[in-house]
Amino acid sequence: MSDLRDFLKEIEDDVVRIREPLSTRYEVAAALHRWDGSKVVAVDRVKETGTRLVGNVCGTRRNILKALKVEPEKLYPRLIEATKNPVKCGGGDGPVKEVVEKGSLKDIPVLTHFKGDPGPYITSGIVYVRSHDGSMENVSFHRLLVLDERRMAIRIVPRHLYRLTQMAKKEGVTSLDVSVSIGLHPTVMLAGAMTAPFGVSEYDVVNNLLGGKLKLTECEHVEALAPADAELVLEGRLMLDKQVTEGPFVDLSGTFDVQRQQPIIELVGIMHREDYIYQAILPAGSEHKLMMGMPQEPRIWEYVRGVVPNVRGVNLTTGGMGWLHCVVSFEKVRDGDPKNVLMAIFAAHPSLKHAVVVDSDIDPYEMEQVEWAIATRFRGDEDLLVVPNVRVSSLDPASDQEHELGCKVGVDATRPLYKDPEKFRKAEIHVSDELRKILDKY
């Protein structure tokens, strides 16, 4: 099974290595921001702790596809197949147990990213939990605000982990054991961002993607599992009867999210490799947006395929924060197809605000091409779908964030079939083999 270190070797040419020590306060965040969406950043030494750090690992689609070892056109069917067929992970110890200690959060290089942050935030932590009766599991990303040496505030959006906490509370249980894993191979990271059926561990979904090679180890201080190849694991107790103020955190939109009362995790112990690499995800950076959006794309793809047979690609764009904007490229058969496709997209991803559909000659991941399609194939009076007063994302500052109510707009940027296709064809420059050889030399 390959780990974060193996992957970093694989993408060596895409890594910017910084040899000067950088501080956890703004300096590392500034470096991650400098190469956001382009390069992985490796810092040899963090000033405050002397530890190594890496960030932006999944900051490009290219890196994620490389890690998964799948061709782009096979990605969605592969992720859907894995979600439907989780494979139980094997057990056993691994390098994460090189050091097992009581530990302290002050010894970990947790970053303060933005002016106005309430404190240092762990942003790459994947939380594993078992239900109070041990019958169910869940794995998901959660940001953690470090409060002091032993306590963190955890943001829990009402999804599967929230449901497990509600079930436990109902039975009078006051805490759940958790592991928070940091420093993982990108494929394992996906476990934190994918959604398996309620109760199923996303580590088992990822284990399918890894051909059954993902090994989980029992934590030393709590009743929880964690990847044996992780760099660092925080072992904690999620307290169900204590809440603190969490935030304001800079979320996907790049704006400050509101403050909320959220539960606490108390640190019980730490396991880590001797020379562990701390992994960071820049809030509102490309990696944050891609890891949020990409795991939703297979569902949109599946819904759209229920309406039209040939779908070239789905892009929850990073400009739309990986969450609010979607482009779908498909082969149009009838003039009525695009609006049905738009409705399928909105049904598949209820947080979405704007969707654009384009013909299959347009690459949905090339926004210059998408804008060209809007410029040349869209008419506002005929090709617009407006859905007022509908559920949207709580992350959109232009909407009613409290009630998650807003407006969805669909743009049909496909060419009308009743018009001569030649009018919409992009002119090409002929390039002979001989000329190509000459040009390729430069």
Ligand X SMILES: Cc1cc2nc3c(=O)[nH]c(=O)nc-3n(C[C@H](O)[C@H](O)[C@H](O)COP(=O)(O)O)c2cc1C
CB of residue 378 vs ligand X: minimum separation in angstroms? Answer: 32
Of the two residues 141 and 278, which places its CB atom closer to ligand X in the complex?
141
Contacts of 273 (CB under 8 A, 6+ apart): 95, 96, 98, 99, 231, 232
Give me the least distance between CB of 159 and ligand X, in Å please.
3
Can you say how many angstroms the Cα of residue 188 is from the centroid of all Cα atoms in its chain? 12
Count of residues interacting with ligand X (CB under 6 A): 19
Q: Are 52 and 277 in contact (CB under 8 A)?
A: yes
3 state SS of 68: helix
Interface characters, 13-52, with ligand X (x: CB under 6 A): ----------------------------------------
Please state the φ and ψ torsions of residue 65, each to the nearest 5 degrees.
-65, -35
Q: Does 311 bind ligand X (CB under 6 A)?
A: no
Exposure of 289 in the CB half-sphere (CA atoms within 13 A): 25
In the bound complex, what is the minimum distance in angstroms from residue 37's beta carbon to ligand X? 15
Residue nearer to ligand X on the CB measure, 141 or 276: 141
110 near ligand X, judged by CB under 6 A: no
Least separation in angstroms between residue 21's CB and ligand X is 26
**Residue the block writes with tokens 């596809």:** 65
Q: How far is the CB of 287 from ligand X (least distance, A)?
A: 7
Distance of CA 172 to the CA centre of its chain: 33
Yes or no: say if 70 and 82 are a contact pair by the CB < 8 Å rule: no
291 touches ligand X (CB under 6 A): yes
Separation between Cα atoms, residue 128 and residue 267, nearest integer Å: 14
The catalytic residues are 251
The rounded distance, in Å, linking the Cα atoms of 189 and 122 is 14
Are 110 and 53 in contact, with CB atoms under 8 Å apart? Answer: no
User: Between residues 166 and 376, which has the closer beta carbon with respect to ligand X?
Assistant: 166
Contact indicator for 203, 89 with CB cutoff of 8 Å: yes
CA within 13 Å, CB half, 80? 12
β-strands 405-413, 354-359 pairing: parallel
For ligand X, give the closer residue by CB, 205 or 341.
205
Name the residue nearer to ligand X (CB basis): 122 or 343: 122
Q: Which is nearer to ligand X, 24 or 201 (CB)?
A: 201
Looking at beta carbons only, is 323 or 330 nearer to ligand X? 323
Binding to ligand X (CB under 6 A): which residues in 177-206? 192-195
Structure-token pair, residue 230: 């992780």
User: Is residue 281 involved in binding ligand X (CB under 6 A)?
Assistant: yes
129 vs 210, which CB is nearer to ligand X? 129
For residue 323, the minimal CB distance to ligand X (Å) is 10
| Contacting range for ligand X; rule: CB under 6 A; set: 18-26, 38-46, 91-99, 137-145 | 137-145
Interface of this chain with ligand X, residues 380 to 419, rule: CB under 6 A? none
Q: Quick one: how far is CA 251 from the chain centroid?
A: 12
Q: Does 438 bind ligand X (CB under 6 A)?
A: no
DSSP character at residue 222: S
7 closest CA partner among 222, 171, 188, 240:
188
Residue 198 Cβ vs ligand X, minimum distance, rounded to whole Å: 8
Among 97, 215, 288, 353, binds ligand X (CB under 6 A): 288
DSSP H or E stretch at residue 215: strand 215-218
**Residue closer to ligand X, measured from CB, 120 or 192:** 192
Which residues within the stretch 142-161 sit at the binding site for ligand X (CB under 6 A)? 142-143, 155-157, 159-161
What angle do the packed helices 297-305 and 75-84 form, to 10 degrees? 100
Calpha distance 156→151 (Å, rounded) = 16
* Interface with ligand X, residue 292, by CB under 6 A: yes
Q: How far apart are CA 271 and CA 181, in angstroms?
A: 10
Contact at 8 Å (CB) between 83 and 196? yes
**Residues 318-357 interacting with ligand X (rule: CB under 6 A):** none
Minimum CB separation of residue 136 from ligand X in Å reads: 11
CA dihedral 410, 252, 200, 121 (to 10 degrees): -170
Taking the complex as a whole, the smallest distance from the CB of residue 180 to ligand X amounts, in Å, to 12
List residues binding ligand X (CB under 6 A). Answer: 138, 140-143, 155-157, 159-161, 192-195, 281, 288, 291-292
